[in-house]
Amino acid sequence: MQYKRIFVAVAMSAIIPATALAANIPLDPTNSALDPQSPYATLYLPQNAPTSVDQVGPDAWTHAYGNPQHNAAFSVAKDAPQWIRDGVRWNFPEARAWPLSDSHPYGEKVDGLKEALPVQTQFYGNALGVSVVRGVVYAESDDMFAYAINAQTGKLIWRSSPVENNLMSNPLVVGNHVYLSAGSVSFNFANVMKYAKHPRQAGRGKDISYNGIFCLNRENGQLLWSFKTAGDAMPTPAYAEQSLFISTGDGNIYRISAADGKELWKTHVGGIANMSSPVVMDGRVYVSMSVIPGLYALDVKTGKVLWKGEIPGAVNTGMGDVSPAAADGIVVMDTVADAKLVDGKPTMDTVVRAFNGTTGKVLWTVNLGRGARIPAFKGGVPMIHDGTVYVGTPVTSDYTAINLHSGKVEWTWKVPNPGPAGAGRGAPTFYRGMLYISTGPDIYAVDPKNGRLMHRYHVGGRFGIVNPTIVGGTMYLGNSWDWVNAVPVKDVNPNFSESGK
C-alpha cells in the first residue's frame, strides 16, 4: 500500500505549494505524512544545486571513507573550474550547530570533559566525514538529518530526515540514489539484561527506534525506499555488484539490492556491529564485529563465511569499532586489546594485524603500544596507500606508518595536545605527497616519508572518526559540533599546489 509524503521545495525565495510536488512514495513509518511546515519535512532548494560545469569530483561514493583503502583523495582535471583547483572555504551549520569557537561540549557539566567529547560525537554532530560526488557534499548527522550541500558555495541543496534515529555514517552515492544507514549506540534495559545473561543473543539498537537503510533521491532528498533491521545499522554499507552489504547490531550481515532494497541473502555471525563498516575486495565482503570479536570474510554471491580472523586479547567492543581496510589482496584490522590495570589504572594496547584476503592467514601483527583506557570509539581507522598502512590510536594518541607487506614500522608521530579523550581515531588522507590528519579541533599536514609535522590548521569544534575528504584543492570534513567544513588544502599545507594532472 502507498501513501503520500509531503515534500517541500523552495525556489527563488517563493514557496511552491506542497500539493504540486507531492509524490506517491512509501512512507516510513506508515501513515506519517508530514505537514509542510514540520521541521522534519524534506526541504529542497533547487536554485542552490551546482551548474553542470561545477559538477566536479568522483562520480560515486561506494564505501566508508571513499573506497576499500580508506583514502578519500580525488584529483581533478587540469581544465576543472578554478574554484575547485584553488580551494574554497566555508562552514555550513547543521540543525544543531554548536559554536566552533566554543571548546566545551554540550554535556561537559554533566559528564565531565573526557566523556562529553565522544558523547557529542555519538549523539549530536557528524560522527564520520562527508562524501563528495559531482560538486555536492553529502553528510549524515546524529541530529537525524542528512544534507546535500553545494561544494563550491556551501549552500544547502536539500535536507531530509527520513527516520527518527541517529545517522552516523558516510552517505553512499551511486547513480541517482543516496543511501543512509540509521542506528544508535543505545541499548534498552531489556537488551542490557539479555546481554548480561546471554551476550551472544543481545542486540544493539533493538526496540530503540527504526533501524536500517534508507534510500533517497539524489537530486531532491525524497525517500524512495527503506530496508528495516532489528539491530542498529550504524556502520556505512559497502556498495558492489549493484548491491549493498550491511552489518547490524543483532549480529547479521545482509546483501540487499541497491535498486529496491530487496534482501538477497542474510548471514548470522553473532556479535554486534558498532561502527565497523564492511569493505568489498575480490569477490569477498569483509566485516568486523564486537562482543564476539572477529573479522569475517564472506562470499559476495552466497553470503557463506569463508574464514574468520581474530586478534588475541581483543577487547569486546574493539574490533567492531574499526573498519578494516583492504588493498593488494590484504585486509588490515586493528583493535584495542589486553586490558589490564597498571598502577591501579585501566590500560590497554592497540594491536594491528594483516590477513591474507583469500585464506585468512595472518601475515603480520604489530603492537602500537599501551596507554590509558579512553572513552567510546577506542580504535583508529587504518588507511592504505602505495604499500603503506597509516593508522592512529587514541589510546596513545599516535599515528604510525607500517609496511603493508612486511609489517615493518616506518615511523610514529604523536598528536600534539590530544586532549583527555585521546586523538587519532580517523583515517588519514594521502594527497599529492602529503598526509592529512583531522583530529581534535585541528587538521595536520604530516610528511608521509618520516612522520614529521609540517603544518597545523585550526578549525574548532571536534573531529571524531573523521577523515579529510579532498577533491582538487579543497578539503571537506564533518564536525562533531554539527558543522560541515570546507578548507583550502593550501591553508593546511602552505606548499600545496593543485597541478590538475
Which pLDDT score, from 0 to 100, does residue 36 have?
A: 67
d(CA 172, CA 454): 32
Residue 14 pLDDT greater than 50, yes or no = no
In angstroms, the Cα distances linking 79 to 53, 85, 281, 435 are 11, 9, 33, 25
Tell me if 331 sits within 8 A of 357, measured CB to CB.
Answer: yes
Residue 91 pLDDT greater than 90, yes or no = yes
Average pLDDT over residues 20-44: 58
d(CA 44, CA 58): 23
Detail the DSSP E strand segments found in 115-183: 131-133, 136-140, 146-150, 156-160, 172-174, 177-182
Q: How many CB atoms are closer than 10 A to CB 341?
A: 9
Which pLDDT score, from 0 to 100, does residue 122 have?
A: 83
DSSP label at residue 470: E
d(CA 463, CA 455): 17
Residue 304 pLDDT greater than 80, yes or no = yes
Alpha-helical regions (H) of 180-237: 189-197
Which pLDDT score, from 0 to 100, does residue 120 have?
A: 86
Predicted confidence band of residue 86 (pLDDT cuts 50, 70, 90): very high
b (16+ CB within 10 A) / e for 265-294:
bebebebbbbbbbbbbbeebbbbbbbbbbb
Q: In terms of C-beta density within 10 A (0-12 exposed, 13-18 middle, 19 or more buried), how is residue 46 classed?
A: middle
Q: Is 163 helix (H, G, I), strand (E, B) or coil?
A: coil
Predicted confidence band of residue 291 (pLDDT cuts 50, 70, 90): confident
Task: Please tell me which residue, 479 or 14, carries the higher pLDDT value.
Answer: 479
Predicted confidence band of residue 201 (pLDDT cuts 50, 70, 90): low
Render 206-217 in DSSP notation, one character per residue: TTTS-EEEEEEE
* pTM exceeds 0.85, yes or no: yes
Residue 16 pLDDT greater than 60, yes or no = no
d(CA 210, CA 477): 27
Predicted confidence band of residue 400 (pLDDT cuts 50, 70, 90): very high
Which pLDDT score, from 0 to 100, does residue 357 have?
A: 98
Here the cell at position 295 is 573479522
- pLDDT single digits (tens) 354-379: 999 999 999 999 999 999 988 888 88
Residue 499 pLDDT greater than 90, yes or no = no
Sheet holding 453-463, edge to edge: 429-431, 434-446, 453-463
Which pLDDT score, from 0 to 100, does residue 11 have?
A: 41
